Structure 1
């Protein structure tokens, strides 16, 4: 079953995952009429060890914790000139382009964008061509400081009516199947926020954007599996 197709219960079943619907009598089902609880085990081989590309970092971004954390600061950093460095939008890419099935998690603070882009995203100027999610070459989940989420692609921003107090999100890319899914992570529970369905034509690079001073993103170590709480009405192309 392709991730972008619904089965009879509206649950997304990914390749190399095991999904078992929770008994309909489970008391947690009362939480929302349009939520389906599933137990999902991501294959360990799907977890990605991301590495940030320092040559792309905007000069108002500081890397720390062995280059696993990025923080927006007021003071420009003395980074050398580089043709791949973002000069307006406060963004940074990861080193490796992804073309398989990949899962990663990040912790965020104070408002950030988490997404993927083709390598050819513009690095110069303040146009939409270089802003994560605001062009045809990138897709993003915007984590607002208020705890509200939205998703953006090709200048279309859609708010997700599922506020969360968690500051940890997960991304699952199934490049061959053409799906990009975002989740809120709370304890051991994955809450599905949105899935983009597309036909990807190039490797996708994880990208992070920063929306205010002191906002930050930290790459997380994946050491466990999660229970999956699936919302079945949040997909787009």
Structure 2
């Protein structure tokens, strides 16, 4: 029987070999790892990052963050601290409201770039009307599907050259695949819009194999 852990492992635990619904199709030997934490130094002032660095919430008014060269100054975005540089990876998130979930090179210019508007990032956007779009190099592609769950799975496959977004529930629903040639480490990127929709994203799972 497949096992599924709902929350991330504490950082002080060793990685644990597990199986999960989506991992069966991706990994031969999946391992669950501690979740990638969010990098407060990159967080835009309109974002509040939780104390455990796993949840981010959109604010109506900006809060004070000290200046930092990595900080997003134009767009309400944040990056993960940990990046992936090889192999296959699966991240699972819970997202509410109007949001952007992206895979991005860690070298992205945080002062200017919105996810998906350049060649350094690939994003899935859920707008305030519930519509889904895929973005890369500024090109927008409408995804003619609607979400019935708030859980999104992200697969990064350096071997096959793919970034895959899935909706996760009792089964999973493929949303979009980017064909990519990844030549640098990539991070998880989160964008949050519309504070009136209680826009929030939490990182829940992290598998590798």
The verdict on a shared fold, with TM-score over 0.5 as the criterion, is yes
Rg (Cα) greater in structure:
1
Local SS of the residue matching 1:147: coil
Q: Is the 8 A contact 2:102 2:188 kept in 1?
A: yes
Partner Cα separation in structure 2 for residue 108 and residue 46 of structure 1: 21
**Which residue matches 2:166?**
183
Local SS of the residue matching 1:220: strand
**Which residue matches 1:115?**
102
Question: Are positions 1:210 and 2:192 aligned together?
Answer: yes
Partner Cα separation in structure 2 for residue 154 and residue 69 of structure 1: 27
Q: Residue 119 of structure 1: CA displacement?
A: 1.8
**Which residue matches 2:47?**
61
**Which residue matches 1:219?**
203
* Structure 2 unaligned spans of 5+: 1-18
Question: Are positions 1:45 and 2:28 aligned together?
Answer: no
Report how many aligned residue pairs link the two structures. 181
Residues 171 and 145 of structure 1: CA distance in aligned 2, closer, same or farther (over 3 Å):
same
Q: Residue 47 of structure 1: CA displacement?
A: 5.8
Q: Is the 8 A contact 1:175 1:200 kept in 2?
A: yes
Partner Cα separation in structure 2 for residue 161 and residue 93 of structure 1: 27
Question: Are positions 1:90 and 2:76 aligned together?
Answer: yes
Partner Cα separation in structure 1 for residue 146 and residue 131 of structure 2: 5
Q: Is the 8 A contact 1:86 1:123 kept in 2?
A: yes
TM-score by length of 2: 0.79
Partner Cα separation in structure 2 for residue 97 and residue 185 of structure 1: 22
TM-score by length of 1: 0.71
Partner Cα separation in structure 2 for residue 205 and residue 218 of structure 1: 15
**Which residue matches 1:192?**
174
> What is the alpha-carbon root mean square deviation over aligned residues?
2.1
